Amino acid sequence: MSRKATITGLGKYIPPRVLTNKDLEKMVDTSDEWITTRTGIKERHLVEDGVSTSDIACDAAREALADAGLAVEDIDLIIVATVTPDMPFPSTACLVQEKLGAWNAAAFDLEAGCSGFVYSLAVAAQFIESGLYRNALVIGAEILSRITDWEDRSTCVLFGDGAGAAVIEATDKGGMLAFELGADGSGGKSLYIPAGGSLKPSSVTTIEEKGHFIRMEGNQVFKFAVKTMGYAALKVIEKAGLQPEDVDLFVPHQANTRIIQSAANKLKLPEEKVFVNLPKYGNTSSASVPIALAEAREEGLIKDGDIIVLVAFGAGLTWASTVIEWNEGE
């Protein structure tokens, strides 16, 4: 059997400051009842001023490294999945490398919206399976509060800040068995930030037009997500040579409980096999899957030999999924 990559350590960082639906009621024309029934979210965590994405990425990374029993100088590769880099360049991964002191690591960012972490797992797995690197640090980290228009009720209730990290190493037993990655660029305008790039550089006008904040056609993204999450999960399970009933835990991107429920229904999964922490954190984009995975393991829901399915969708539009036969090794 060919050598596979597996997750040998997990870490997460959740900022202490909490913003509840009740708090949002005082900021925009919304209600706890609307947010809860339409999304499932009750509260989200936000970083303080002055904290950057690379800072929280490092917090999650240090926890994952300790969990894996690796020293920083052991790291061969750092991939940071984010839509909220500290700055256009250098990459957040290079800033993380410097802050951690991981001088032996190659480093780059990967941008695939909320699918970024699972895309990055697939990329890291190629380096490990080929034998080019012994290990990789894959981080999903986001400060979405900085690209949120806090006067737009249709988006500001959805997002939160946070980071999750995983250490990837080779295994000869189990590991990441299959991947399904995809994109539909024709849906790009359903979820985007209009300004601040080469097309519309920052100017007084882009600021006046609020062009640096998230724009979203919620129902278009909703339809895409409902179609894609179930498809991507079923496809990757099939690629792994398994059946939906073999799945022990389903860890989906945490965007909306109605979207998660529809994907779980397609797989005919009972509630106890579907991990949901969305009510506490909202949508943390590429941090959502690693935070959920770390928390599921903390809660004792993952043990060696379990079949875990990760699936995400996001800006691009993109989707990504993987099946892991959990095996943390020694």
Provide the binding-site residues for ligand COA, judged by CB under 6 A.
30, 34-35, 38-39, 114, 153-154, 157, 191, 216, 218-219, 221-222, 225, 255-256, 283, 314
Note whether 274 and 260 are within 8 A (CB).
yes
Nearest to 286 by CA among 261, 310, 304: 310
Dist. CA 282–CA 315, nearest whole Å: 16
Give catalytic residues, as residue numbers.
114, 253, 283
**Structure token pair of residue 162:** 């946070």
Residue 209 CB, shortest distance to ligand COA, in Å, is 20
Nearest residue to ligand COA, by Cβ distance, number only: 218
Dist. CA 137–CA 164, nearest whole Å: 11
Residue 40 CB, shortest distance to ligand COA, in Å, is 9
Residue 190 CB, shortest distance to ligand COA, in Å, is 9
Which residue, 6 or 284, has its beta carbon nearer to ligand COA?
284
Dist. CA 206–CA 225, nearest whole Å: 29
Residue 292 CB, shortest distance to ligand COA, in Å, is 14
Burial profile 16-36: b = 16 or more Cβ within 10 angstroms, e = fewer: eeebebeebbeeeebebeebe
Burial profile 114-136: b = 16 or more Cβ within 10 angstroms, e = fewer: bbbbbbbbbbbbebbbeeebebb
Which residue, 60 or 191, has its beta carbon nearer to ligand COA?
191
Number of Cβ within a 10 Å radius of residue 71: 11
Which residue, 176 or 191, has its beta carbon nearer to ligand COA?
191
Which residue, 6 or 283, has its beta carbon nearer to ligand COA?
283
Residue 282 CB, shortest distance to ligand COA, in Å, is 10
Q: Residue 101 region, left (φ>0) first, then alpha (ψ -120 to 50), else beta? A: left
Which residue, 244 or 282, has its beta carbon nearer to ligand COA?
282
**Structure token pair of residue 265:** 């229904």
Dist. CA 185–CA 25, nearest whole Å: 35
